[in-house]
Amino acid sequence: MKQLIVILASFLLSTCLLAQQEVKFKAVVGGDKVSLYETIDIRFQIEGAKFNEFKLPDFEGFEIVGGPNQSTSIQYVNGKMSQQAAYSYKLRAIKEGTLVISPATVIVDGNILETEQLEIEVVKDGNIKPPPPPASRFDSPFFRTEPPTRKKNNKKKRSTITI
């Protein structure tokens, strides 16, 4: 019975500490300048709450090539609990110019939180070429539909006769 009371008390204490924590929602991008067809990472991070009704921004001028990747963490430092969750994406720039990523939104306890608008400059670089089309599974040596061909040994056998 005492164990149950201790467990309930610790749960209530952690819930109260979490309720007192300030909620922060932000977007972090891997740079403000990128070459055309190059990839860039963007991360939407919330501290003090979990993602609830997350709305992805418009990635006009970019193509999503990876993600969403989700991560969560809970830490206790000096008796204080902190919670963090994030979604991350890998974007490829497909249009030149100063591109704007509109704010992402999330609803926490009935309140709408937004990230700041991000501006990323996409420049043409003569060294970077457009990416090749995506490979199909039939291009992979691990998913061949026909058996591999073997080279035939064209060496002639010599026979020797001893007398």
* Each residue's pLDDT tens digit, 123-134: 987 566 666 666
Lowest mean pLDDT segment, chosen from 39-48, 80-89, 96-105, 151-160? 151-160
- Report percent pLDDT > 70 for the chain: 64
Instruction: Provide mean pLDDT across the span 35-52.
Output: 89
Instruction: Provide mean pLDDT across the span 43-61.
Output: 89
Name which residue leads in pLDDT, 20 or 91. Answer: 91
- CA atoms of 128 and 43, how far apart (whole Å): 25
Q: What is the pLDDT of residues 107-154, one digit of tens each?
A: 888 889 999 999 999 998 756 666 666 655 555 555 555 555 656 666
Would you say residue 76 has pLDDT above 50? yes
Closest C-alpha to 60, from 89, 32, 101: 101
Options 3.40.50.12780, 3.20.20.70, 2.60.40.740, 3.90.1150.10; CATH for 23-128 is 2.60.40.740
Instruction: List the chain domain ranges.
Output: 23-128
Q: What pLDDT score was predicted for residue 63?
A: 93
Instruction: Provide mean pLDDT across the span 13-38.
Output: 76
Strand stretches in the chain, DSSP E = 24-29, 33-35, 39-47, 62-77, 80-93, 97-101, 105-108, 111-114, 118-123
Q: Place 80 in a pLDDT band, splitting at 50, 70 and 90.
A: confident
- CA atoms of 94 and 113, how far apart (whole Å): 29
Tell me if the bond preceding 148 is cis, omega within 30° of 0: no
Residue type, 134: P
